[in-house]
Amino acid sequence: MNAVADIAGIVLGGLAAGTVLFIVSVGLSVTMGLMGFVNLAHGALAMFGGYVIVLSMNRAHFGFGAALALGFVATAALSVVLERMLYRRLYRAGELDQVLFTIGLIFIFIASTIIVVGSETQQLQLPPALSGQFNLGFIQYRAYSIFLIVVGFLIALGIWLTFERSRIGGQIRATVDNRRMAESLGIDVDRLFTITFAFGSGMAGIGGGLGAEFLGLDPQYPLKYLVYFLIAVSVGGLGSVIGVYYASLILGILDFVLTLYLPKGGTIFIYALTILILLARPQGLFGRKGL
């Protein structure tokens, strides 16, 4: 019985971490799939959203739901401004310029956060309903982790349905598959991209806030988790919602297990696995096309 509870605890903890990873990365996957833009600064938007959420709760005493909504809207709005003013100029540039540009953005976000808010870690105060334990029948587990897993599943389901069933989802899929063809069929790719970029960034912002409790939220966040966001996206496959969902969950569980049992360098297996998967399938597990 105890072993079952242990395993369930590990799986649930890993799933909760993976869920946060998914909520942050899903927008990155879709926007990179659409435009082929190497956006290393996605984590910076997640951090921005996280700060908005945590600060609006701690300093302006917003409720949890209201703070999340504010985080989504603020991050999405900021991303539209950035996209219109800066990203747009670099769509046809080489990867090197895009890498350089987004590294520059990361530095700007980190430094601005230190200057405006300070370099200390921000604590997320969970609402009382989520801070206790939740009885799953065979074990007691942290209510917040259960909440994250359920919410993440619903979000994944919602995005997947939008992708597969709605008109805009069809347009996105068509553009990921063949951008020129989609454009010549009259799909407004620029508008599509702005919408998905804003939505994806908003989701990243929510992810930053939801994950603040156990990933920590400090100015180094965009660099600290950059590799994980990129792994989730590239292993899952660009432009594939299902792929990112599975990749994030697997990554979350692996990381949870390895840091628990092999705290020194255990995550080496994650990188080795990523290299093997990408060598065997450069387009990722569920990718529609080569990267």
Where along the sequence are the contacts to another protein (CB under 8 A)?
A: 32, 36, 38, 86, 89-90, 93, 95-101, 103-112, 114-115, 223, 226-227, 230-231, 234, 238, 262, 264-268, 271-272, 274-275, 278-279, 282-283, 290-291
Q: What does the block give as tokens for 170? A: 């069809």
- Give the C-alpha separation, 250 to 19, whole Å: 10
Nearer to another protein, 144 or 286 (CB): 286
Radius of gyration of the chain (CA): 19
The 8-class DSSP code of residue 132 comes to S
**Which CB atom, from 108 or from 154, has the smaller least distance to another protein?**
108
User: For the residues of 179-206, what is the DSSP string, one character each?
Assistant: HHHHHHTT--HHHHHHHHHHHHHHHHHH
Ramachandran region of residue 139, left (φ > 0), alpha (ψ -120 to 50) or beta? Answer: beta
Coil vs helix vs strand at 13: helix
CB nearer to another protein: pick between 1 and 279: 279
The residue (of 5 and 291) whose beta carbon lies closer to another protein is: 291
Question: Which one, 58 or 220, has the nearer CB to another protein?
Answer: 220
Asked if residues 198 and 76 have their Cβ atoms less than 8 Å apart, the reply is yes
259 near 266, Cβ under 8 Å? Answer: yes
Q: What is the 3-state secondary structure (H, E, C) of 31-65?
A: HHHHHCCCCCCHHHHHHHHHHHHHHHHHCCCCCHH
| Residue recorded with tokens 């300093």 | 59
Shortest approach of another protein to residue 186 CB, angstroms? 28
Q: How far is the CB of 68 from another protein (least distance, A)?
A: 28
Q: How far is the CB of 228 from another protein (least distance, A)?
A: 10
Name the minimum Å distance from CB 218 to another protein: 13
Q: How far is the CB of 249 from another protein (least distance, A)?
A: 19
Nearer to another protein, 106 or 206 (CB): 106
**C-alpha span between 50 and 265 (Å, rounded):** 28
Q: Kindly tell me which of 39 and 175 has the beta carbon lying closer to another protein.
A: 39
Give the three-class secondary structure for 140: strand
Closest distance between another protein and the C-beta of residue 193, in Å? 17
Q: How far is the CB of 96 from another protein (least distance, A)?
A: 6
Give the length of the chain: 291
